[in-house]
Structure 1
Amino acid sequence: MSIQNKPTGFSKYFIWLVALILLASGAFLFINGIRLIMVGGSWYFALMGIAMLFSSITLFMFKPIGAVVYGIAYALTIIWALIEVGLQFWPLFSRLAVFGGFAMLVAFAYPALILAKRREKSSGGYKLGGIIAVCLVIALGLMFTEHNTIYNSIQVQKNTLAAKDAPTDWQQYANTTKGTRFSGADQITKENINQLEVAWTYRTGYFPQSNGSGAEDQNTPLQINDTVYLCTANNVVIAIDADAGTEKWTYDPKTSVPNWQRCRGLAYHADSSNQKPSEPIELTPNATLTSACSSRIIMNTLDARLVAIDAQTGQLCDTFGDNGIVDLKKNMGDIPPGYYTITSAPLVADDVIVVGGRVADNFSVGEPGGVIRAFDVHTGQLVWAWDPGNPSITDVPPPGETYTRGTVNVWTTMAYDPDLDLIYAPTGNATPDFFGGLRTKYDDEYNSSIVALDRKTGQIRWSFRTAHHDLWDYDLPAQPLLYDIPDGNGGVQKAIIQTTKSGEIFMLDRATGTPLAKVEERPVPQGDVKGEYYAPTQPFSVEMPSIGNETLTEADMWGATPFDQLLCRIDFVGSEYQGLFTPPGMSKTLQYPGSLGGMNWGSVAVDPQTNIMYVNDMRIGLTNWMIPRADIPANASGIEMGIVPQTGTPFGAMRLRFMSPVGVPCQKPPYGTMTAIDLKSKQIVWQKPLGTVMDTGVFGIAMHMPIPIGMPTIGGPMTTKSGLVFFAATQDFYLRAFDSATGEEIWKARLPVGSQGTPMTYISPKTGKQYIVISAGGARQSPERGDYVIAYALPDKH
């Protein structure tokens, strides 16, 4: 009969430590693994928990069998992981790395167990532990390389650009009213971009604090002649010398709203014979427009005012509206503070200013309406109105009435085609978003639609709906791209390309609204909420790439560790989910993509030389469900997440991000990408993850490691004639430049804080120097805030 000897000294305490780790981990896996089995999920975690508990108990007893059992369990885990996810790096890392670390500890403990059991030395455990350690080091190293990339070999033919298609200033929010975000500036190239340096930094003095007010810096500046114009999140307009970065003037409208404070951009108009807004003004260097308000900056404010400012002096244009201001609250009815705010740049279309407005989603029915209005750019007089709830109202409502309450609205920036003289309005939903049982026929006709309006009259030429009876807040957030696609026969297809929160991209004929890329109506899941009705089908853009909206499975669940992955699996399997357009129900329902997208307000950029469009996305799900009216707390607001009241309907709704307990999205990476799409072939040229965990991580704590996992992005890209794509709106604090042909990151600059803005560029008419400008006020999920506007340029030649 052999006598079991006990290890002594360090070996004893090391084995106890390993046993304690396995005990705690095994108990967690077993308990929650049973929960997963009970909702119909995988048995793996409960079984692994049992193996770890057995190993722990036997290790406490200093029996080698505990190490052997864990080794067998880990070997089976490797097989299980390969069967479930194949050779995908991040899913394998989540399943194997932590358990691999435990295996290394068990292997290092094994020689002491053998010595105590048999009184003989064995170095096999040290060798195996060393091998595992090397594998873990390799895996850790692979974390710092890009995964989930796509590269396709597509023949790209370069087009010759006309001067009007390659402006070198930045006169409108997207550089042109067609939403191109393309610049003809080409001094900064792939070859010299590494020489870029900070040319100037301007501090606005306003730090947007996202402390419940929703204040965010999401600005894209303008540049006209020798001046850069920008707005802060509280609507202060600032004019800066384009070369020196010094302040020329400021205008403060003194806005005050309780939430959702942001100003994404401004608009510009200059008096010029036969001048079209999408064409650059031809001025010689140092020339100026001297007449009062002959050039004017247009801004709509958070508290619903339309303002015209002399671009030269910063003074209000007193012939516009009431001493420079038009009150957009007129004829709107009652507007509680924060219920009607305008955050996106207005559109200047020839001689009219076109504005929509953001309403406070999900507070109640009967909120302010989503009327679109056009005002004379010189006088501020109303030219026309499109009331989505009452087509007969084409200017002001009849006496005693208001624009229709609670209609669909346009909260993003619209686009304008000067040749067709059409304005393109991407609509949202009639509030509330998640219960539509009380919506009107007009709400359903125009929700989540592209509506083409005649610039002169505001009459509808055509409309196209991207989601029927939208119950997901899949409103159209992005300015459309208007682009002429070569047809291969010497002509072009006049296209409008619209990105969506649902991850679909629609390509239509912008003269007629007819799809240029095939759209199919497909059956979608149906719900059972009392009083609700459901669209039997939804449109899918089957000939354009879908981005980040694949149907998830349990195997797609992910976590920084197997433990939070397990909790995500329980959440996923326990939720109602049947893929895209699963409607919210009375029990927990998963929506993927969530209400942030997919693609959001950052919109796209295009290179007209190659017909390639660049679009960034985010991949964050949402869990939601209906809550009976009697159970809604009195203080429910849900400005971001939580319970939204939806007053006036039978139900409120709960909204929660589909995240693990440590603050990581529950599905596998990436969580944000940049995709290059050839508009001729409608194929992806390349796709790559965007952003690292340098400045964020689990529990929101910065990991300070450049791991390119691909983080949620908000903001937009910008591209240049020299073959560069610039982007800044990741969760880390960088402005990056990519090779537009391959997606290779070829330059990045560290920012003092993160950015949610879209980069812009211009060539100074004074010095002939090209600048890249970015506004940096803080990344969306970071507490670090700033007030920076930074310009980069090549060094002067001496």
Structure 2
Amino acid sequence: MTTVKQDAVTQPTSRVWSLRIFGVLVALIGLTLAGGGIELIGLGGSWYYLLAGIGLLIAGALLALRKTLGAWIFTLVMVATIIWALAEVGLRFWPLMPRLAPFAVLAFVLALLLPSLAGPGIKRTSGVLAGILGLVLIAGGVSVFQEHGVTQAQVQPQNDPIKIETDGNASAWQYYGRTPAGTRFAPFDQIDQNNAKDLQVAWTFRTGEDSVGASEFQNTPTQIGDTVYVCTPLNKVIALDAETGKERWRFDPKVQDRKTWNRCRGVGYYEPAAVKQPYNFAEDAAFHASRATQTTSDGQCAGRIVLTTIDARMIELDAKTGQPCEDFGHGGTVDLSTGLGKTDYDGVLWWYLTSAPTVANNMIVLGGWVFDGRDVNEPSGVVRGFSADTGELIWAWDMGQPEITKLPPEGGAYSRGTPNVWSTPAFDEKLGLVYLPTGNQQPDFWGGDRPESTEKHSSAVVALDIATGRVKWVYQTVHHDIWDYDIASQPALYDIPDGKGGSTPALIQLTKRGQIFMLDRRTGQPITKVEEKPVPQTVAKGDWVAKTQPYSTGMPALGAEPLTEADMWGATFFDQLACRIAFRKLNYEGEFTAPSTKPTLLYPGYYGGFNWGSASIDERNGYLFVNDIRMPQVVQLEPHESVDPSKLVAGHGVGSTYPMNGTPFVIDHRAFNSPLGIPCHAPPWGVFAAIDLKTQQLVWERPAGTVEDAVVNGIKAKLPVPLGMPTLGGGVSTASGLVFYAGTQDYYLRALDIATGEEVWKGRLPVGGQATPMSYISPESGRQFVVIAAGGARQSPDRGDYVIAYALPKKP
């Protein structure tokens, strides 16, 4: 064996060269960190990387020369790094990982190489050190698969008495949020914490329409009696047997693929004979079930499915047969483009429907989706009320022309470019009010020319009189919104105890900002504290910003803390450093940093916070269940004259350019990711959480799902690491104390204990889900079913067309 001599100690050549190679590697790491550290300091950032880099450069050089001092300098840098890391992020596991894990690995290798540095006499010490560090690495590896950042529940829910529905005839999921209140609360208790482990697939149905291209399967099915109604992204409606999932009928409106945003989140349901004043959901549920299977003596529809399409039509179908209701509109169809003016731009529609229609009494209330960021002259955000019996236009609310209460004058059109209502309203029958979550005015990110008449209704909750469509009150969640912080979530209506034996009728509104507003739904006044806080005043030429913005300080906010350099993250200290440098280069002064000609960071960002999945409320105890998205974006304004129109990247959101015609700028969008393609800020990137509405306190919070099915740079992780991923789709809570969620990036439907947030069951899906699940009692067997549409998770290449129902095994 070839040997070399050092300090009278003979060493094998292989060991010597291993040490030298290790030393060179450490020196190169130090050189890289020092170089990046110089740039970071120049941007006003941390000095750590320069100092640590210099230390590692010296340590590596000395180790390559087989100098013991190199090991001592490395140890000093590592100890200093531990102190720095703890001072910067405390004991939080995921932020510590890229700071400390690389040092733990390097220290482990150095421990193994110590005998070639200091001679055989240190072999035992080397072994002990390597053993300790090996155990640290193993413990870290195990911890990677554990949940971190969990807020544990300190109290137990105080359940109020509530009627548990076990009769299938009384079970109806008639609205997008089950009832007009939008609480997604299923008053069933068959599936509970003890037996949820026994859940199994009861039936699976495939629609035949994969969610590919611009299509995403985000449908929450409607259930009336023994029938479940599903709509696909291209607006096919399919009636299924609630017990078996067998297809009963199918209606195809034959829409064209819009190539931009194919969605059908739900259908409406209407029965002329069921309308009462005031309407009572529970009392009429059994009546709905019987009417859905009937046809009137004159051949007209008794129960009616209300469908809105992505080519701007509204259609009523016989709930029994799927045939159009001939007495509605023209042969069952109403043209929703009437009065809107131009909506088709070179074959691309800029206005259509994606969310479920709202059937309130004998009225169908509709807003509409507009193609974000195209033009100041986009189609109107008008909201209209149609007769559910005939399809006749009863009223219109045109915020730009309030004098127009039905159709515009002949040759005219509803106001162009006004804020729209693309999400789902809620309504209160007793108060006679429908509550609209509004968008911000187009084209989203520049608003220098917006008129006051529409400005005051942007990104707000607006209460309209259901009968007349006139405004009763407005509450704005963002002033002069130039961040696309439109309200995506359906309002949730719940009566809050007032501490005096009574209750206050409340409206709980989630926002993309992670703020939760609790309003008196009679007046729109906040029930919990809201503060107007100063915000940055720097803004692009020709625009302006509000001096203050509303913060709901009386309610918990999720994911709303401003980002700092210390929040930057990576899989290694290299990409963490790269993210720190990138962060320092961005225009960012907090949540309300206005878009600029410099790259500008938006956080929470226009995906949320809280998106269209909305909240669920356990009506037994007043727990609010939410799931969120924590994915910032980087945007940049560019003057129109400097941009080649042929090179604009069409599309929606990250990876696209909005032309914003009629403004001085276009705006580019990209994700704020590291060089490895992962988010630049520390996880979690999405959570499940519960808030007690009675005390306005966060009860628990847990990371939402794992990276098991996430794809980064074309590679699927395949490891169930619970980082907490962005979520679409909301939850459904049940009277048994469970809340069901899909909508994560991994392919599961989960059941969580509402008291603790702990997972009590999860069912593997063939592809991911984006939809909100629903639950019902089958009238045939009396069994409780939980149903989810699974068409593929956002950003996943795996797509499908599945509707899957879970239930407990049939009793023998």
Same fold by TM-score, threshold 0.5 exceeded? yes
**1:425 matches 2:436:** yes
Q: Which residue of 2 aligns with 1:200?
A: 203
Shift of 1:301: 0.8
Shift of 1:272: 2.5
Q: Secondary structure at the match of 2:496?
A: strand
Shift of 1:657: 2.0
**1:300 matches 2:303:** no
In the alignment, is the contact (CA less than 8 A) between 1:176 and 1:277 conserved in 2? no
1:752 aligned to which of 761, 766, 777: 766
Shift of 1:155: 6.3
Shift of 1:754: 0.7
Q: 5+ unaligned residues in a row in structure 2: which ranges? A: none
Task: Give 1:249's aligned amino acid.
Answer: W
Q: Which residue of 2 aligns with 1:457?
A: 468
1:512 aligned to which of 474, 498, 523: 523
Shift of 1:82: 1.0
Q: 5+ unaligned residues in a row in structure 1: which ranges? A: none
Alpha-carbon distance change, 7 to 331 in structure 1, aligned in 2, over 3 angstroms: farther
- Once the two structures are superposed, the pairs formed by residues 27-176 of structure 1 within 5 Å of their partners are 27-115=31-119, 122-154=123-155, 156-162=157-163, 168-176=171-179
- Once the two structures are superposed, the pairs formed by residues 363-402 of structure 1 within 5 Å of their partners are 363-402=374-413
Q: Which residue of 2 aligns with 1:267?
A: 268
1:670 aligned to which of 667, 684, 687: 684
Alpha-carbon distance change, 2 to 517 in structure 1, aligned in 2, over 3 angstroms: closer
**1:330 matches 2:338:** yes
Distance 2:420 2:546 in 1: 21
Q: Secondary structure at the match of 1:189?
A: coil
CA-to-partner distance for each residue in 1:379-420, whole Å, 9 max, x for gaps? 111111001211111100011110110000000011111111
Most deviating of 774-783 and 641-650: 641-650
Distance 2:706 2:175 in 1: 31
TM-score (norm 1): 0.96
Distance 2:316 2:695 in 1: 43
Q: Which residue of 1 aligns with 2:246?
A: 246
Q: Which residue of 2 aligns with 1:639?
A: 652
Shift of 1:593: 0.2
Distance 2:150 2:121 in 1: 51
Report the count of equivalent residues. 792
1:180 aligned to which of 178, 183, 192: 183
1:14 aligned to which of 8, 11, 18: 18
Shift of 1:67: 3.0
Shift of 1:37: 1.1
Q: Which residue of 1 aligns with 2:600?
A: 589
Distance 1:193 1:13 in 2: 59
In the alignment, is the contact (CA less than 8 A) between 2:483 and 2:594 conserved in 1? yes
In the alignment, is the contact (CA less than 8 A) between 2:260 and 2:651 conserved in 1? no
Distance 1:272 1:120 in 2: 94
Shift of 1:7: 5.1
Shift of 1:3: 6.6
Alpha-carbon distance change, 299 to 69 in structure 1, aligned in 2, over 3 angstroms: same
CA-to-partner distance for each residue in 1:210-268, whole Å, 9 max, x for gaps? 4xx3x211111111111111111111111111111111111111222121111111111
In the alignment, is the contact (CA less than 8 A) between 2:536 and 2:593 conserved in 1? yes
In the alignment, is the contact (CA less than 8 A) between 1:422 and 1:453 conserved in 2? yes
Shift of 1:575: 1.8
Q: Which residue of 2 aligns with 1:309?
A: 317
CA-to-partner distance for each residue in 1:647-700, whole Å, 9 max, x for gaps? 110011122222222232222221111111111111111111111111116536
Q: Secondary structure at the match of 1:19?
A: helix
- Once the two structures are superposed, the pairs formed by residues 458-473 of structure 1 within 5 Å of their partners are 458-473=469-484
Shift of 1:529: 1.4
Alpha-carbon distance change, 10 to 533 in structure 1, aligned in 2, over 3 angstroms: same
- Once the two structures are superposed, the pairs formed by residues 700-719 of structure 1 within 5 Å of their partners are 701-719=715-733
Q: Secondary structure at the match of 1:446?
A: coil
In the alignment, is the contact (CA less than 8 A) between 2:225 and 2:286 conserved in 1? no
In the alignment, is the contact (CA less than 8 A) between 1:299 and 1:306 conserved in 2? yes
Q: Secondary structure at the match of 2:73?
A: helix
CA-to-partner distance for each residue in 1:445-468, whole Å, 9 max, x for gaps? 110010000111100011111000
Shift of 1:4: 9.1
Shift of 1:5: 8.1
In the alignment, is the contact (CA less than 8 A) between 2:540 and 2:594 conserved in 1? no
In the alignment, is the contact (CA less than 8 A) between 1:347 and 1:354 conserved in 2? yes
**1:289 matches 2:303:** no
**1:569 matches 2:580:** yes
Task: Give 1:477's aligned amino acid.
Answer: A
Alpha-carbon distance change, 745 to 120 in structure 1, aligned in 2, over 3 angstroms: closer
Most deviating of 57-66 and 79-88: 57-66
Distance 2:159 2:666 in 1: 53
Q: Secondary structure at the match of 1:354?
A: strand
Most deviating of 69-78 and 44-53: 44-53
**1:648 matches 2:662:** yes
Task: Give 1:572's aligned amino acid.
Answer: F
Task: Give 1:343's aligned amino acid.
Answer: T
Shift of 1:471: 1.1
In the alignment, is the contact (CA less than 8 A) between 1:285 and 1:766 conserved in 2? no
- Once the two structures are superposed, the pairs formed by residues 514-663 of structure 1 within 5 Å of their partners are 514-634=525-645, 635-636=647-648, 637-641=650-654, 642-663=656-677
Distance 2:714 2:127 in 1: 37
Task: Give 2:382's aligned amino acid.
Answer: V
| Root-mean-square deviation over aligned CA pairs | 2.1
Distance 1:453 1:506 in 2: 19
2:743 aligned to which of 710, 723, 729: 729
Shift of 1:41: 0.4
Q: Which residue of 2 aligns with 1:767?
A: 781
Shift of 1:442: 2.1
CA-to-partner distance for each residue in 1:117-166, whole Å, 9 max, x for gaps? xx756332232122111111111212222221223434643222257999
Alpha-carbon distance change, 623 to 273 in structure 1, aligned in 2, over 3 angstroms: closer
CA-to-partner distance for each residue in 1:355-381, whole Å, 9 max, x for gaps? 111111111110111000111111111
Q: Which residue of 2 aligns with 1:695?
A: 709
Distance 2:21 2:225 in 1: 69
Q: Which residue of 1 aligns with 2:226?
A: 226
In the alignment, is the contact (CA less than 8 A) between 1:677 and 1:683 conserved in 2? yes
Distance 1:700 1:666 in 2: 18
Shift of 1:31: 2.2
2:192 aligned to which of 173, 189, 193: 189
Alpha-carbon distance change, 195 to 2 in structure 1, aligned in 2, over 3 angstroms: closer
Shift of 1:15: 2.8
Distance 1:458 1:436 in 2: 27
In the alignment, is the contact (CA less than 8 A) between 2:171 and 2:285 conserved in 1? no
In the alignment, is the contact (CA less than 8 A) between 1:111 and 1:124 conserved in 2? no
Q: Which residue of 2 aligns with 1:784?
A: 798
In the alignment, is the contact (CA less than 8 A) between 1:388 and 1:443 conserved in 2? yes
Most deviating of 378-387 and 664-673: 664-673
Q: Which residue of 1 aligns with 2:425?
A: 414
In the alignment, is the contact (CA less than 8 A) between 1:429 and 1:443 conserved in 2? no
In the alignment, is the contact (CA less than 8 A) between 1:234 and 1:262 conserved in 2? yes
In the alignment, is the contact (CA less than 8 A) between 1:148 and 1:688 conserved in 2? yes
Task: Give 2:503's aligned amino acid.
Answer: V
CA-to-partner distance for each residue in 1:472-509, whole Å, 9 max, x for gaps? 10000010001111223222100111000011111111
Alpha-carbon distance change, 643 to 90 in structure 1, aligned in 2, over 3 angstroms: same
In the alignment, is the contact (CA less than 8 A) between 1:386 and 1:393 conserved in 2? yes
Alpha-carbon distance change, 7 to 326 in structure 1, aligned in 2, over 3 angstroms: farther
